Amino acid sequence: MNLFWTETAKEDLRAIKYYISQDNPAAAKQWIERLKATVFFLRKALNPEYCKPVELCASGKHA
């Protein structure tokens, strides 16, 4: 199973980041980074062959 960002999802993320950043730019950045880290974790769980960025790859395999 593949997990990927659709263009709609990317647009939604930008809108969410913009909305949060109106009150707290640092919180907006942190929220997006945490979400990206969670998606990376899910990608690894669903497809152990996938690993990006390389320095986070424990298996030594990367895309």
DSSP, collapsed to helix, strand or coil, labels residue 10 as: helix
The tens place of each residue's pLDDT in the chain, 63 residues long, gives 677 788 998 999 999 999 999 999 999 999 999 998 888 888 888 776 665 554 444 444 444
From CA 25, how far away is CA 12, in angstroms rounded?
17
The per-residue pLDDT for 24 is: 97
Q: How many residues in total does the chain contain? A: 63
Name the residue type at position 14: R
**Would you state the pLDDT for residue 39?**
86
pLDDT for residue 40: 84
What pTM value is reported for the model? 0.62
Q: Which two tokens stand for residue 28?
A: 């907006």
| 3 state DSSP class of 18 | helix
